[in-house]
Amino acid sequence: RKEVEQDPGPFNVPEGATVAFNCTYSNSASQSFFWYRQDCRKEPKLLMSVYSSGNEDGRFTAQLNRASQYISLLIRDSKLSDSATYLCVVRGTYKYIFGTGTRLKVLA
Amino acid sequence: DTEVTQTPKHLVMGMTNKKSLKCEQHMGHRAMYWYKQKAKKPPELMFVYSYEKLSINESVPSRFSPECPNSSLLNLHLHALQPEDSALYLCASSQAGTSYNEQFFGPGTRLTVL
């Protein structure tokens, strides 16, 4: 079993739709959690950290469920510019573990 | 300033060449990382430096040699690479330690080995 698992997609959604991504992790000792977005041929950019209480940044909401060992990302009112790969990242003791990424394509 | 810079942006080298990739950050971070990323794959960790000391080497072949001259700089020396080493090489930095530390990436060096 991979340490961090994501549905690779692609998710093709119309503009204005709400889309949710899930990510599961295997190490219960994992300490911190992040979502990154990566555009084609660019570096990953931090989208948001994921806190135990859940957190929201504009149209983006992240949730953490430690008991079930998963994190989620909800994007509301999708824009064309949201098209990217979304990477779930889990930090262990010394390093960051990346999921395989979920591709999102928002269609006009 | 959440910026990590990398040079060069692109590099083409032959299998007998020696070249170096450079990374710099001025965020006061004491942990720096090298990743390798192939198309449609997530970044793959190569090395971690913590407080200028190598703390993780993910069994990377010796043709890749990292160096951390000071807390702001990270180099990756390349020698006798193979065509399969062609990839995007990403540098990243974060605060050291085990608290909630966000990691920031540079724009990467796109390496082609002929």
Say which residue the tokens 């702001």 belong to: B72
* Mean predicted lDDT score pLDDT of chain A: 94
Q: Burial of B69 by CB count in 10 Å (0-12 exposed, 13-18 middle, 19+ buried)? A: exposed
A34/A23 Cα distance (integer angstroms): 11
Pairing between strand B10-13 and B4-7? unpaired
The pLDDT of residue A2: 83
Helix (H) or strand (E) holding B46: strand B44-50
Query: Above 70 in pLDDT, residue B99?
Result: no
**Contact assessment for residue A25 and residue A97, using Cβ atoms and an 8 Å cutoff:** yes
Q: Label residue B18 by pLDDT band (50, 70, 90).
A: very high
Angle made by CA atoms A82, B23, A104, in degrees to the nearest 5: 15
Q: Does A48 touch chain B (CB under 8 A)?
A: no
What's the rounded mean pLDDT across residues B30-38?
Answer: 97
Query: Above 70 in pLDDT, residue B47?
Result: yes
**Contact assessment for residue A72 and residue A60, using Cβ atoms and an 8 Å cutoff:** no
* Residues on chain B touching A55 (C-beta within 8 angstroms): none
Indicate the range of A7-16, A44-53, B94-103 predicted with least confidence: B94-103
From B107's Cα to the closest Cα of chain A, the distance in A is 5
CA distances to A20, A40, A94 from B32, in Å: 32, 24, 11
For chain B, give the longest Cα–Cα distance: 42
Using the beta-carbon criterion (under 8 Å), do A87 and B90 form an inter-chain contact?
no
Helix (H) or strand (E) holding B23: strand B18-25
**Contact assessment for residue B103 and residue B20, using Cβ atoms and an 8 Å cutoff:** no
The pLDDT of residue A8: 87
What's the rounded mean pLDDT across residues B11-39?
Answer: 95
Query: Above 60 in pLDDT, residue B14?
Result: yes
Query: Above 90 in pLDDT, residue B79?
Result: yes
Q: Label residue A101 by pLDDT band (50, 70, 90).
A: very high
What's the rounded mean pLDDT across residues B7-15?
Answer: 95
For residue A71, give both structure tokens. 């994190």
